[in-house]
Amino acid sequence: VARSGGTDRRETARYARRVSWSELNEHGSYVSDGVKIEAYRRAFANLIRPDDVVIDMGCGSGLLGLLALEAGAAKVVAVDSGPILELARETFEANGFGDRVEYRRTHSAQLTLDQPADVVICDQIGGFAHEVGLTRNVRDLFDRGVLKPDARVVPDSFDLFVAPVSAPESDDPLRPWASAASGFDFGPFQRSAANSPFRLTATADWLLGPGVPAAHLDARDEDKITFRVSSRTQTAGPVTGILGYMRAHLDPAHGVSLTNDPTDPGRFRRWHLYHPVEPAIHVEVGDEVTMSFDVNQRGHLSTWQVTVNDEQRSASQFFGDFLDPLVMFDPPGDSVPPLSRTGQCRRATLDAIAAGTPFSRLVELVAGEYADQFRTADEARRFVRDMVARYCERT
Ligand SMILES: C[S@@+](CC[C@H](N)C(=O)[O-])C[C@H]1O[C@@H](n2cnc3c(N)ncnc32)[C@H](O)[C@@H]1O
Atom of ligand 1 nearest to the CA of 108: 20
Q: Compute the average pLDDT of residues 315-342.
A: 77
- Per-residue pLDDT of 118-151, as tens digits, reads 999 999 999 999 999 999 999 999 999 999 999 9
30 close to ligand 1 (CB < 6 Angstrom) = yes
User: What is the position in ligand 1's atom list of the atom closest to the CA of 111?
Assistant: 20
pTM: predicted TM-score of the whole model, two decimal places: 0.83
Q: Is the CB of 137 under 6 A from ligand 1?
A: yes
pLDDT digits (tens, 9 = 90+) for 274-326: 999 999 999 999 999 999 999 998 877 899 999 999 999 999 987 765 455 55
For residue 267, how far is its CA from the centre of ligand 1 (angstroms)? 21
Phi, psi of 136, deg, nearest 5: -60, -45
Task: Classify the C-alpha dihedral 42-267-136-87 as positive or negative.
Answer: negative
Q: Whose CA is nearest to atom 24 of ligand 1?
A: 58
With a 6 Å cutoff on the Cβ, whether 121 touches ligand 1 is no
- Residue minimizing CA distance to atom 10 of ligand 1: 58
CA of 58 to the centre of ligand 1 (A): 3
Q: How far is residue 340 from each of residues 129, 337, 345, 379, measured CA to CA in Å?
A: 38, 9, 9, 19
**Mean pLDDT (the chain, rounded):** 92
**What is the rounded average pLDDT of the residues 214-235?**
96
Residue 132 alpha carbon to ligand 1 centre in Å: 10
By CB atoms closer than 10 A (0-12, 13-18, 19+), residue 220 is middle
Q: How far apart are CA 115 and CA 285, in angstroms?
A: 58
> E strand or H helix at 382, and its extent?
helix 377-391
Position in ligand 1 atom list of the atom nearest CA 65: 6
Tell me how far apart the alpha carbons of residues 361 and 93 are, in angstroms, rounded to a whole number: 38
Pocket flag, ligand 1, residue 81 (CB < 6 Å)? yes
Q: Which residues contact 227 (CB under 8 A, 6 or more apart)?
A: 160, 214, 215, 292, 293
Say how many Å lie between the CA of residue 185 and the centre of ligand 1: 38
CA of 27 to the centre of ligand 1 (A): 10
Q: How far is the CA of 85 from the centre of ligand 1 (A)?
A: 10
Evaluate: CB of 61 within 6 angstroms of ligand 1.
Answer: yes
Q: In whole angstroms, give the CA distance from residue 55 to residue 1.
A: 30
Share of the chain above pLDDT 90, in %: 84
18-51 tens-digit pLDDT: 788 889 999 999 999 999 999 999 999 999 999 9
Nearest ligand 1 atom, CA 122: 6
